[in-house]
């Protein structure tokens, strides 16, 4: 097993880009939007708890441990519906709870822009996703690729089953510069979506709209539908990524136009 050096370099650069993206965005927007670091930490904590613990635990039970539901969701359409809704419900409930708590907190700096909390929280939530779902996973594959090129991979994986070893080899064999670019595009789009959803949720909470939670769940689910359809082998990856790229650009444009730092925050 050998991974082409060009592929390894491209994957490393894509991983580095995803890793520094949330940090760079936070540093660029911190002063004009007068960010409170606690808002960003809240986003990180909510994603870590609701997405990596609760959602994964739910998925493991529903899709693997429970025979009845596991059989039900073998149907591609049922799997798509469940996957989109599970992600939407878990993450948006966590986001809503956090936003309600942040809205009650006082001590904000004077003339803080109205969307400061939503943006700061979104960078934390989206940044955590970029690292947990993207960077850490890709670092593992980069490590495996280096071991493979040294001829040490099988020795390192000696404690795994043969099926698991074969899956690792299969993934390494499919790595390419194109996949590195797709990875960077997907994680960037997801980061933009998380910021957009956070700003939307913050504005809804500030306005006292009880409908903001179901609206956010539906929007989040709709965003996850193409990815779930790809996992169910209903649509090709190129179509999913093209759609995400277009929608992410549109969301970024709306955020740029609507989130002006000159607007003072309303009293909570």
Average pLDDT for runs of 10 along the chain of length 268: 90 97 97 94 97 94 93 92 94 97 79 91 98 96 93 88 89 92 96 98 94 97 95 92 96 91 50
Is residue 264 one of the residues assigned to a domain?
Answer: no
Burial bucket for residue 256 (CB in 10 Å: 0-12, 13-18, 19+): exposed
How many independent structural domains does the chain possess? 1
Which residues does 88 contact at the CB level (< 8 Å), separation at least 6? 216, 217, 218, 219, 220, 221, 224
pLDDT at residue 262, as a whole number: 60
Query: Does the global pTM surpass 0.75?
Result: yes
Range of the domain at 226: 5-258
Domain assignment present for 122: yes
Determine the pLDDT at residue 107: 62
In a domain, 268, yes or no: no
Residue closest to 95 by CA, chosen among 189, 225, 250, 212:
212
Asked, for residue 234, whether it belongs to a domain, the answer is yes
Residue 19 contacts residue 131 (beta carbons within 8 Å): yes
Rounded distance between C-alpha atoms, residue 82 and residue 157, angstroms: 33
Residue 159 placed within a domain? yes
**Is there a domain that residue 41 lies in?**
yes
Tell whether 266 is covered by a domain: no
DSSP code at position 1:
-
pLDDT at 159: 87
Decide if 52 is inside a domain: yes
């Amino acid at each position: 097993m050998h991974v082409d050096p060009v592929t390894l370099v491209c994957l490393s650069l894509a991983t580095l880009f995803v890793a520094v993206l949330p940090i760079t965005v936070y540093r660029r927007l911190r002063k004009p939007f007068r960010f409170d670091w606690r808002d960003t930490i809240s986003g990180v904590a909510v994603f870590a708890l609701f997405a990596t613990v609760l959602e994964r635990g739910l998925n493991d039970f529903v899709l693997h441990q429970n025979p009845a539901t596991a059989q039900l969701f073998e149907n591609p359409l049922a799997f798509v519906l469940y996957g989109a809704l599970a992600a939407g419900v878990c993450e948006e409930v966590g986001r809503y709870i956090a936003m309600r708590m942040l809205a009650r907190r006082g001590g904000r700096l004077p003339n803080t822009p109205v969307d400061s909390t939503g943006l700061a929280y979104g960078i934390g939530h989206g940044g955590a996703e970029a690292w947990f779902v993207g960077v850490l996973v890709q670092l593992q594959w980069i490590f495996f690729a280096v071991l493979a090129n040294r001829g040490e991979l099988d020795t390192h994986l000696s404690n795994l089953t043969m099926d698991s070893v074969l899956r690792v080899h299969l993934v390494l064999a499919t790595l390419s510069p194109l996949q590195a670019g797709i990875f960077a595009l997907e994680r960037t789009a997801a980061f933009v979506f998380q910021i957009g959803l956070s700003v939307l949720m913050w504005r809804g909470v500030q306005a006292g709209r009880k409908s903001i939670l179901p609206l956010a769940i539906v929007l989040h689910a709709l965003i996850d539908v193409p990815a779930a359809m790809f996992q169910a082998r209903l649509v090709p990856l190129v179509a999913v990524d093209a759609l995400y790229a277009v929608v992410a650009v549109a969301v970024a444009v709306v955020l740029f136009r609507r989130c002006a730092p000159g607007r003072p925050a309303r009293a909570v």
